[in-house]
Structure 1
Amino acid sequence: MSIDSNIGVPIFKVNRHTYLLLNENIGMTIGQRIRKTRLEIPMTQTELAEKVGIKQPTISELEKGDSAGSAYLPAIAAALGVSALWLQTEKGPKYPIKSITPKELLLITAYREATDEGKTFIEMACASAPKLPGGK
């Protein structure tokens, strides 16, 4: 969390939506946000391009900053599981559903893309997984 001192009193940096901004996200470009999020999942540029329906060099250009933006940003955001507003402007929450993690998103995506047999296997694995106390 970033804190600035103002006459010895710590002041938290917040954006206009009052979400606390982390140092790592302040001043990031669209390309940096795409790359960082893509690597968190993890997903290759080629995999992201295929999900969005564009070519891999387009993703590479965005990540390098060779391209300032794209009409495909909403589709890229959806493929990465992040808010399109956050991806484009860095404002608002990163994840549309605040409680979902990149690993959870990966599992959901794998389930949705699985065959019926694969879905049954995933469901059986989930049913037999040990549960945390309190049902969490």
Structure 2
Amino acid sequence: MSVGLRLKEERKRIGLTQTELAERCGLTKRAQVNFEKENGEQLPGGAYLLAATALGIDVLYVLTGERNGISTEEAQVLSAYRVASPEIKLAVSAALGAAVKASGRHKFVMHANEVGQALSGDISQPGLTINLGGRKAQKKSS
């Protein structure tokens, strides 16, 4: 399927006519008709694609034929999560049933402007070995 046919499919999916989509993206109906032709002689430019994205067109699908794996709602949640504090991220993980245990409010570690956390409780990681130093020889008393 061509770019033009996928664009037409997406336009119909969001319930707009060629005239409506063209106007909302700042073009004429004639330009929209040319974009939607099966032979794909004319491809939409960046400004058009940005405006179409804001209207709900899956531009990744239009250009590549591959559907975007994340919905608008999921993208908004992910954006909010990325800028949230470590405490909020921990609360979100807990609310969603993620296997992250809160270790207490004061067990966050800051190093070079990066935030980490200290987990407490039973942690099972099969095959993990941590060596913190060898055995020290005991001193013999003389």
* TM class, shorter-length: 0.3 to 0.5
Give 1 or 2: higher helix fraction: 1
Give the TM-score taking structure 2 as reference length.
0.42
Give the TM-score normalised by the residue count of structure 1: 0.43
Decide which structure has the larger Cα Rg and report it: 2
